[in-house]
Amino acid sequence: MFVLEGYKVIYRFTLSFIKIKEDEFLKAKDGVISIKNIINKSLENPDIDVLLKIVFGFSLSRNDWNKLANEYNKVKDDKNNEFVKQL
């Protein structure tokens, strides 16, 4: 897929994985440690069919990418954000 789609497929997989685990990430109480554990557990036995349906089931325009990048930069630069403090 990477050869055919290029780097964008990596972003699609990452966003799809986050979408699948969104509820678990939001409920994580220990911050980075909990998120790391969720990721490790999920990678042991991934549901590839569900992941692929999500990966190729959405479309992101250049404008969407720019909005996501701006939101990320706001959170990343927020020194009062608890998640950022743990990094």
84 CA to centre of own chain? 16
What's the number of domains the chain is made of? 1
Q: Supply the range of the domain harboring residue 61.
A: 2-86
Q: What is the DSSP string of the chain?
A: -HHHHTTHHHHHHHHHHHHHTHHHHHH-SSTHHHHHHHHHHHHHS--HHHHHHHHTS----HHHHHHHHHHHHHHHT-TT-HHHHH-
- The model's pLDDT over 8-65, given as tens digits with 9 standing for 90+, comes to 788 888 888 888 888 988 888 777 888 888 888 887 887 788 878 887 787 778 888 7
Whether this prediction's pTM lies above 0.75 is answered by: no
